[in-house]
Structure 1
Amino acid sequence: MANTSKKILFALFFVASLSTFPGCGVWNNFTTYFNLYYNTSTLFDEAESAIQKDQRDIFSRTEANVPSTAAASLNKVIEKCSNILQFNSESSFVDEALFMLGKSFYYQKNYLKALRKFQELLVKQSESEYVPETELWIAKTYFQLKNYPAADKLLLQVIEKSTADGNDDLFVKAAIVQVKFEITAEKYPDAIKSLKSIVKISDDGEINAQAKYQEGELHVLLEEKEEAAKAFAEVSDYSPSFEIELDAKINYGKIIRSLGKEDEALELFLNLLSKDKNSTSFDLLNFETGYTYLLKKNYDGALAYFAVVDTGFANSTAAGQARFEMGYIYEKIYFNYDSASIFYMKAQTAPSTEEYTPLIKNKALVFTKYQKLNGEQLDNLQKLKYVTDSTLFTKDSLEFFIADSLAKIVSNDEQTEKAQQQNPQQGRTRTFGASKSTETTSAGGKKTPPLKAPVRPNISEDSVKVLLVKTKIELGNLFYTELDRPDSAFYYYSDLIENYDLQSQKPQVLYALANYYLSRDSTKADSLLNFVYDNYQHESIVNAAAEILKKPKIDFQYDPAKKLYREAEVMMQKDEIKSSLKKFIAISEAYPVSEYAAKSLLAGGYLLEEKLKLPDSAAVVYDSLVSKYPKTIYAQKISPKLQTYKKEKDRIRMVIEDSLKKIEVAKLKKRTEDSLKIVAENLKKKTEDSLKLELQKKTVKSEDSVKTIEAPSPT
């Protein structure tokens, strides 16, 4: 922003005009300038410079984060510009205050506020010199708000106006934004045209260098290698930064290498490596040099440069790539799967590129599987030796005991020697058995793994062989499908056929062998495939063989109950109810595992319920359906109805039982009352008889007493 020149010009103009035009307007501009505008403008220029310094890639589609010092300055600029607009709205600095406000909000990524301030400038200060550039900033704001149609339309207008006005600086700025838009929209050919127009108009060597570099990258995306190489080579014709120039040379080397110029590329990479000023990119240069040697089939040379990256730049992006390529060499060239596995696993621990990350992940998974299966195979082979030869376990146990004891002695001696070196006055002592680990350190400083004690198998020979067969099949499949080593797969498959009782796994192994022979011996392949087709028609693998042989496939979904069900349905439609019912019930009994078993029971229940009006019989069939096939849709459909029926039956039963109970209670009550009545009558009669007897006794006694009184006394 040309604020500095404006400040100087204004100061000179003010000195001259103060004496000539001693009006209030001049004085107002003067006080605004010295009290507020000058400080605000200076503060904004410093903040914008810091932001642009961080935004090195002018074609980046994302705005850089604002440095903390610049962020604080922007807040002050917003405050001061707001004061200018509020208290000095008549000064000539309103347009620039609005412009600085809009840009400050833009840098803060507050795009809606920025848009409002830019639009306010266009409306209120339509004659301002900032109008053309403000339109560009509005287009940039639309771009950040993802209003691409509005951004594109306004950008074209700015480009047309700047071209007509001969405003090259504005044209270049607008064209840079246009390139960003076209790349975002994946309009790469249009972006290349825009980049070429920038180089044609601009006289800024650094901008032109970045434009050429961006053009090269777009040609790479379009797989236009010759044009990409040319663009990267032309970067140095302008004024690139050190980083842009070095990256352009590295990319140029990669492109010409892909065009078959491997020697020229190697010479370029070695030349760049020889210069200390390029040390910040030594990780990438060593990788590209190693990769070039790899393409030239100089595998030792490739490994040497990859090793430099692996050890010297362990946390760099190139480290992940280098370790992957080292794994590739050990896998594909030297067939050393243990070493390949180590480097594929190490590649996961370093960052990598989008291209390499999925490759590394896939290889790590494959070789993790390989290590697991190979370890299981070795373990099971050892178990097989022990279960077939018990003396071997005894021999190995003895050897382990001797080796373990010696390792402990060596370890204790080393510890004692180390202790004496640290404390020379201490006497030499041995502590046999003090070290529980048998891990030792070799002369080269590398630790050897601890000795592993033999373990006696606790399973039978047949069980060990079953495990071994499973592991060998999986290893064969791994070599054939994922490691692309058909010869190794053939070894495992042949070993299984010749030396093991495969039982259920045999058709899969025979089919795998047939696939191996397909491109080598078609006669053998056809023979094996026909054997599988003729002898294993109950196995799903038979249809894979049928596909190759062009023979009819076996329908594993065939269900004889299906035909019978259709016949029963026809009978039902003809109102042959009893015959249809009999057939539905027969299907469920003859084919209980068929999907038509449950369906047949539902149909049978329906006939009993609706056609024959036998609800109790229907309920029995429905109950059988729900109990045998509870998870089928047929059971779930009829279950609520069946439950309602059962509840109603229970209710009726309970009503009947209650009625019977009441009758029994009434009968019992009647019997009780009758019994009580009889007892009462008997008791009454007994009481009356007893009273009569008692009365009679009293009467007799009274008469006797009277007779006694009336009798004369003797004289």
Structure 2
Amino acid sequence: MSKRIQLFLFTMKIIFPISIIALLSGCGLWSDFTTYFNTYYNAKSIFEEEESSILNTPKNLFEFKEALISTKSNQNLEKVIEKCSKIMQFETESSYFDKALFMTGKAFYYQQSYSKALRKFLELSALGETDLSLDSKLWIGKTQIQLRDFDAGITVLEDVKTEALKEEREEIYSEAFIKQISYLIYSENYSEAIAKINEFVEVIDSDELKAEVYYQLGRLYLIQNDPENAANAFMQVDQYDPSFDVEFYSRLEYARIKKQEGMLDESMQLFEEMRDEDKFRDSLGMVELEIADIYYIKGDTDQTLDLLTNIDSTYQKNESAGIARFRKAEIYEKDFVQYDSAMVYYGRVTSSIVSRELKEIAKEKYRVLDKYKLYHKNIHDLRRQISYIEFPELFVQDSVKYEEYQKRKQARADSIALANSDRLAQNRQLITNMTSETGDVPALNNLVTGQQGNQVPINNPLTVEEVIYPPPKPTVSIDSLHKMIAKEQYDLGNLFFTDLNVPDSALNYYEKVLSEYPNNRYYAKTIYSIGTYYLIKDDKVKADSLFQVVYDNYKNDTVYLEAAKQLGKIQRTSDSDPAYNLYLAAEEKYYNSEVDEAVKEFIGIYKNYSKSPLASQALFAAGFILENDKHDFDSAAVLYKSLLSEYQNTPYAKTIMAKLNIYEQEKSSSKQSSIPESVSSGTPTVSNKNSKTELSTPGKQDSVEIKRKQPLLPALQQKPETVQDTTVRIEE
């Protein structure tokens, strides 16, 4: 190499580094350079990765509420905030300051720390005109809406749209429009949302976005119960470039509309076309559910069940399987009235991949059907006990049968255990004989663990037989058992009437209560319930005749008041009365046997809502419970006397007037201490709880206990401040 060349290379080694240093040190460029590579670059890389993950998470285009981010994303955004904070604190001269501020605001927004986010976006706006001015304004509007400052946020977004059009910032324009529409949908202003979408769709350039907007428009029309416009919107989707999900669901909804409009053959054809397209193979379960529904509407229940069974077995890890189980349960319950099978499938739904709402419905259905089974079992056991009392030898025979069943059950268990033991012994022997030949120890070990395909069969000599339960030994009289059966049948009737919605079956059980157990405590209420049955059957004449029976013959039963209301003899209480819901709650507690709490809450209504039309009814209800459930006649008399004194013109006061007079006479003749009179405070507490004088029914010579007929009171629930042991006394 020549000396001239060597001199040139030596000179360049000195000059080039000096030139680079001089270049980077001028006008803050060196500061920008170190900031970018030491802090900003790392923060930007982390943020872009997390933002991409957040934005790519599937969600409704017009979803108002921002989704929660994962713990990992939250931690990474904390790192971004920390790094950007260093940039803004120590590198104020850096040209990356505004970018770091904007990135911090967005990180706070994704973390749903909206107040902090807004503060950062406002700080960015305060810097004056920058490349990020319009972006920050967009995010200010979005953040204000999330902070529920709706008017300010909508106004800002409208300004953003105007500026974005001028600057031809299509992405910002679309995002502002979308956020406005999402707010309108969130506030259930569907008509204005539809108008905004129709305005928005005219200015969208992206065919993919336009397809999704038309799909969302169709869904809004469905909410507005406008299937014609919904169908037109769903048809528009195919004219553009929809994503897979948007195409699938728009076609699904369009076919559903045809089904709902009664065009079953056209709908079936549309669903079958979707089923035959390979691109929809991962969503076939939903399509087949719709096809099964069409068969059901056509009355082909067998074909429906076959399809649902296939969906259940084919798509077990898909939501469609859970829905198929629910539909099968409904068919078994409502079409076949096979409650045991329905209960099994409702139970399976609760462990399936379905929406929370469907799981809750299935749980409630399961609970109701479980009660149905329990009522039937209780009735069966009670009737068996009656048979055992009438024919004691039957109890002995059933006890012997149960003992023999237990022996067979134990023998079966012993046989299976022995067969398993023999199988394991044979497999171990096979291992011993074959290890030296095959050397395949893992395969041979499978013989022991039961994983080998050719297992030694277990020959069970005992056939499976029906489960036999121990015979219930009678512990009460036949009369008591009859009363218990009447209660179970009445409750079963109510279950059919209210929960299972099978009123004809309810009527069957109500009539059994009246015909088989005529003197039970539920007699009046059963008559009233049959009256309500005929009301829903639009036979008001028959219903009123039954209400009249209750009204004429059961004046000492609280269901009498409801019958009076049905007959128009008592004005119904308006739901606007604040005591109304309290009264219903107290009544519910009474029906659930929480009599002490019920008394307290009825008294609370009387004390706190003395001007309410329900006050007299609540006072009567509390006295009724004390008399008939608690047998605390003195305390009941205290309430009755207050009722007579303060609400003497009500039907409740007239109901107890004669009874209270007889009670007063008996108390006087027996020289018991008299009941304190009501005072203006009207606050009930206790009188002599040990008094033996009972409140007598007028027209009878002897003091008798009035037997309770379960009432239908319109409930109450405010607890009195000074009530103890649910007994009552007038405070003086």
Q: TM-score interval w.r.t. the shorter chain? A: 0.5 to 0.7
Match of 1:375 in 2: 377
AA in 1 matched with 2:559: I
Matches within 5 A, 1:223-622: 223-275=225-277, 277-311=279-313, 317-350=319-352, 352-353=354-355, 356-357=358-359, 359-424=361-426, 450-516=467-533, 519=537, 528-549=546-567, 597-599=675-677
Query: Measured at CA, do residues 304 and 122 of structure 1 come closer, stay the same or move farther in structure 2, by a change above 3 Å?
Result: same
Task: Calculate the TM-score normalised by the size of structure 2.
Answer: 0.65
Cα drift, residue 391 of structure 1: 3.3
Query: Measured at CA, do residues 275 and 397 of structure 1 come closer, stay the same or move farther in structure 2, by a change above 3 Å?
Result: farther
Does the 8 A contact of 1:309 with 1:318 survive in 2? Answer: yes
Q: Secondary structure at the match of 2:556?
A: coil
Does the 8 A contact of 2:388 with 2:474 survive in 1? Answer: yes
Q: Secondary structure at the match of 1:484?
A: coil
Does the 8 A contact of 1:121 with 1:131 survive in 2? Answer: yes
Cα drift, residue 25 of structure 1: 3.3
Question: 1: distance between equivalents of 2:688 and 2:481?
Answer: 45
Task: Structure 2: state its 5+ residue gaps.
Answer: 1-19, 430-457, 572-615, 624-638, 647-660, 692-721
Q: Secondary structure at the match of 1:263?
A: helix
Does the 8 A contact of 1:213 with 1:231 survive in 2? Answer: yes
Cα drift, residue 469 of structure 1: 1.9
* Cα deviations by residue, 1:510-534 (Å, 9 ceiling, x for unpaired): 4444555564877766665544444
Question: 2: distance between equivalents of 1:423 and 1:246?
Answer: 58
Question: 2: distance between equivalents of 1:564 and 1:50?
Answer: 74
Does the 8 A contact of 2:217 with 2:233 survive in 1? Answer: yes
Size of the aligned set, in residue pairs, is: 565
Query: Measured at CA, do residues 366 and 84 of structure 1 come closer, stay the same or move farther in structure 2, by a change above 3 Å?
Result: closer
Question: 2: distance between equivalents of 1:565 and 1:636?
Answer: 12
Does the 8 A contact of 1:182 with 1:188 survive in 2? Answer: yes
Q: Larger C-alpha radius of gyration, 1 or 2?
A: 1
Does the 8 A contact of 2:114 with 2:143 survive in 1? Answer: yes
Higher normalized helix content (fraction of residues): 1
Query: Measured at CA, do residues 544 and 426 of structure 1 come closer, stay the same or move farther in structure 2, by a change above 3 Å?
Result: same
Cα drift, residue 131 of structure 1: 1.4
Cα drift, residue 489 of structure 1: 2.9
Task: Calculate the TM-score normalised by the size of structure 1.
Answer: 0.66
Does the 8 A contact of 1:232 with 1:252 survive in 2? Answer: yes
Cα drift, residue 195 of structure 1: 2.8
Query: Measured at CA, do residues 148 and 448 of structure 1 come closer, stay the same or move farther in structure 2, by a change above 3 Å?
Result: farther
Question: 2: distance between equivalents of 1:446 and 1:283?
Answer: 39
Cα drift, residue 376 of structure 1: 0.5
Query: Measured at CA, do residues 178 and 416 of structure 1 come closer, stay the same or move farther in structure 2, by a change above 3 Å?
Result: same
Does the 8 A contact of 2:483 with 2:520 survive in 1? Answer: no
Task: Structure 1: state its 5+ residue gaps.
Answer: 1-17, 428-440, 567-582, 604-622, 639-715
Cα drift, residue 157 of structure 1: 0.7
Matches within 5 A, 1:210-225: 210-225=212-227
Which range moved further: 544-553 or 258-267? 544-553
AA in 1 matched with 2:557: E
Identity between Structure 1 and Structure 2 (%): 30
Cα drift, residue 264 of structure 1: 3.2
Question: 1: distance between equivalents of 2:643 and 2:494?
Answer: 40
Q: Secondary structure at the match of 1:423?
A: helix
Query: Measured at CA, do residues 133 and 292 of structure 1 come closer, stay the same or move farther in structure 2, by a change above 3 Å?
Result: same
The alignment status of 1:102 with 2:105, answered yes or no, reads: yes
Query: Measured at CA, do residues 626 and 190 of structure 1 come closer, stay the same or move farther in structure 2, by a change above 3 Å?
Result: same
Query: Measured at CA, do residues 27 and 560 of structure 1 come closer, stay the same or move farther in structure 2, by a change above 3 Å?
Result: closer
Question: 1: distance between equivalents of 2:335 and 2:103?
Answer: 63
Which range moved further: 300-309 or 214-223? 300-309
Does the 8 A contact of 1:598 with 1:625 survive in 2? Answer: no
Does the 8 A contact of 1:588 with 1:600 survive in 2? Answer: no
The alignment status of 1:125 with 2:128, answered yes or no, reads: yes
* Cα deviations by residue, 1:93-130 (Å, 9 ceiling, x for unpaired): 4443433343344334443443333323322232x232
Query: Measured at CA, do residues 121 and 446 of structure 1 come closer, stay the same or move farther in structure 2, by a change above 3 Å?
Result: farther
Query: Measured at CA, do residues 275 and 451 of structure 1 come closer, stay the same or move farther in structure 2, by a change above 3 Å?
Result: farther
The structure whose RCO (Cα within 8 Å, separation 6+) is larger is 2
Question: 2: distance between equivalents of 1:148 and 1:636?
Answer: 56
Which residue of 109, 114, 139 corresponds with 1:111? 114
Question: 2: distance between equivalents of 1:561 and 1:105?
Answer: 67
Cα drift, residue 602 of structure 1: 9.7
AA in 2 matched with 1:143: I
Query: Measured at CA, do residues 630 and 40 of structure 1 come closer, stay the same or move farther in structure 2, by a change above 3 Å?
Result: closer
Cα drift, residue 452 of structure 1: 1.9
Question: 1: distance between equivalents of 2:265 and 2:464?
Answer: 41
Matches within 5 A, 1:153-168: 153-168=155-170
AA in 2 matched with 1:463: S
AA in 2 matched with 1:466: K
Q: Secondary structure at the match of 2:331?
A: helix
Does the 8 A contact of 2:190 with 2:220 survive in 1? Answer: yes
Cα drift, residue 479 of structure 1: 2.4
Query: Measured at CA, do residues 404 and 252 of structure 1 come closer, stay the same or move farther in structure 2, by a change above 3 Å?
Result: same
Does the 8 A contact of 2:384 with 2:472 survive in 1? Answer: no
Say what the alpha-carbon RMSD is for the aligned residues.
Answer: 4.7
AA in 1 matched with 2:117: A
* Cα deviations by residue, 1:456-494 (Å, 9 ceiling, x for unpaired): 423332222222222122222322343333332333333
AA in 2 matched with 1:176: I
Match of 1:141 in 2: 143
Cα drift, residue 155 of structure 1: 0.5
Q: Secondary structure at the match of 1:124?
A: coil
Question: 2: distance between equivalents of 1:298 and 1:85?
Answer: 71
Question: 2: distance between equivalents of 1:539 and 1:300?
Answer: 50
Match of 1:54 in 2: 57
